[in-house]
Amino acid sequence: MAKKASQFIFRKDYEKWLLKQGVKSVGAYCPQDKYKCNGKDYLYLDLIGVFAIENDRLYVNALFEEWKAEIDEKNNLKTTLNRLSYLQKYRQFVETIVYGKKRLSKEDNAILNGIRNALSSVRISINNSQNPKVDGMDSLIEYIKEEKFVKLAIESSYFFSPDLVAERFEEIKEYICQQKVVDPAFKDKEVKYLPARYTSKEDPTNAADGVHECDQTVGIVYFKLPNASQRLCVIYQEGARGKNKECGENTCGGGNGNTRVCQLIKDRTGYDLGTTTNKKHFRNFIISHIWGHAIDPRYFTNLWNIVIVPAWANHLLDKDEKGTLASTFKATIQKIITELYDFNNFGWASIQMTPPSYNNKEVISGRYQINIIEQKSGNAPLGKIWKKPVSI
């Protein structure tokens, strides 16, 4: 049952709460966006309020997600950001005021009773459109707006200098083009082949456009680019996580996480990320492959794909989603990387790749102060770390 623009459940409580939060134009924070179900329109503000009274958190969260997706789809960037801020305020209000509320005004009771009978059909509608869920990030986002979270996460991360990134790109290009056996980054360590993270449990589609081929006679997994006349890359074989029967029970591939990435970073910058806790230069940080594809040798140790991310934000980058905090964070950090390193200057064709892409619709524009790690020079034990502004 659609409501007039002047009424929705808890409107008086919400307006009082907004004033206490320092909001002067409270009317703007009461959008009349509607959820359609079985030919009827219901205010999101009403449905969310009623489900919160019922302590039905899954459906409260699901409605907020439906509302957010609708805002993203229908509005331009400026309008979207404004309306999402209104949504976020109502989410804070619901979390702090509505859950567990027992005493309702006469007007609110009337709205509640008018909607209660429709809740079962709304539940069915939501179940058909998505899987209702609880998001562990919700409690944080209640207090930090999405754009502030993304900015904090990115400005707390550490990127590698454009010179370091370009140098490593050229090494990988040289290896592929000249069909070398030893990765130039690891000559001193006698590490053969171009490293990648691989086990038989990995999804081969994560190798982007390359193909894995297992040589059962020697127990090694090769990586072949589709247009190559022969195998150009070989996945380095280091302590595998398990046996691969296709390789005659030999240890195919490598399974020691980011060992080779840590060695590369230490060699170029001096910073130790792979040693014991007391010796690590970065604590509570995680090496993140921003575009993933860690089982593709062109991605695994290419420094444009690697950022040192705070542990509290890193897990969001492992998600493949749309219209969520995770997808916004990932798209924004990917956009920053493309600007920071100027992808147009790389010879992507030389390693049989197209430039990695991102979802520009989810990028949060702004000016970011990025931490840059330089290559160590001379006898300096560590590379310099400095701030670089990047506008996107």
**Helix, strand or coil for residue 367?**
strand
> pLDDT over 90 for what percent of the chain?
28
Tokens describing residue 20? 């206490």
Instruction: Report how far residue 228's alpha carbon sits from residue 179's, in angstroms, rounded to the nearest whole number.
Output: 11
First to last CA, the chain: 43
Angle at CA 87, nearest 5°, toward 85 and 92?
95
Give per-residue pLDDT as tens, 237-262: 544 444 445 444 444 444 447 888 98
At residue 90, φ and ψ (nearest 5 deg) are -65, -35
Are 307 and 288 in contact, with CB atoms under 8 Å apart?
Answer: yes
Q: What is the pLDDT of residue 4?
A: 47
- The dihedral through the CA atoms of 275, 281, 283, 285 has a sign that is negative
Give per-residue pLDDT as tens, 32-77: 899 998 888 999 999 999 998 888 888 888 898 888 888 877 766 6
140, containing H or E segment:
helix 138-141
Q: Token pair 């240890």 is at which residue?
A: 251
Q: Where are the alpha helices (DSSP H) in 205-318?
A: 259-269, 297-300, 311-314
Tokens describing residue 323? 């219209």
Kindly calculate the radius of gyration of the chain based on its CA atoms and give it in whole angstroms.
Answer: 26
Give per-residue pLDDT as tens, 352-362: 888 999 999 89
**Helix, strand or coil for residue 95?**
helix
Q: What is the pLDDT of residue 309?
A: 94
Q: What is the pLDDT of residue 2?
A: 42
Give per-residue pLDDT as tens, 79-108: 766 777 788 888 888 888 887 677 888 888
Instruction: Report how far residue 384's alpha carbon sits from residue 139's, in angstroms, rounded to the nearest whole number.
Output: 36
pTM over 0.75: no
> pLDDT over 70 for what percent of the chain?
79
With 0-12 CB in 10 A as exposed, 13-18 as middle and 19+ as buried, what is 331? buried
Cα pseudo-dihedral 88, 90, 94, 97, rounded to 10: 120
How confident is residue 24, by pLDDT bands cut at 50, 70 and 90? confident
pLDDT over threshold 70, residue 231: no
Give per-residue pLDDT as tens, 118-155: 888 988 888 887 766 666 666 666 667 788 889 999 99
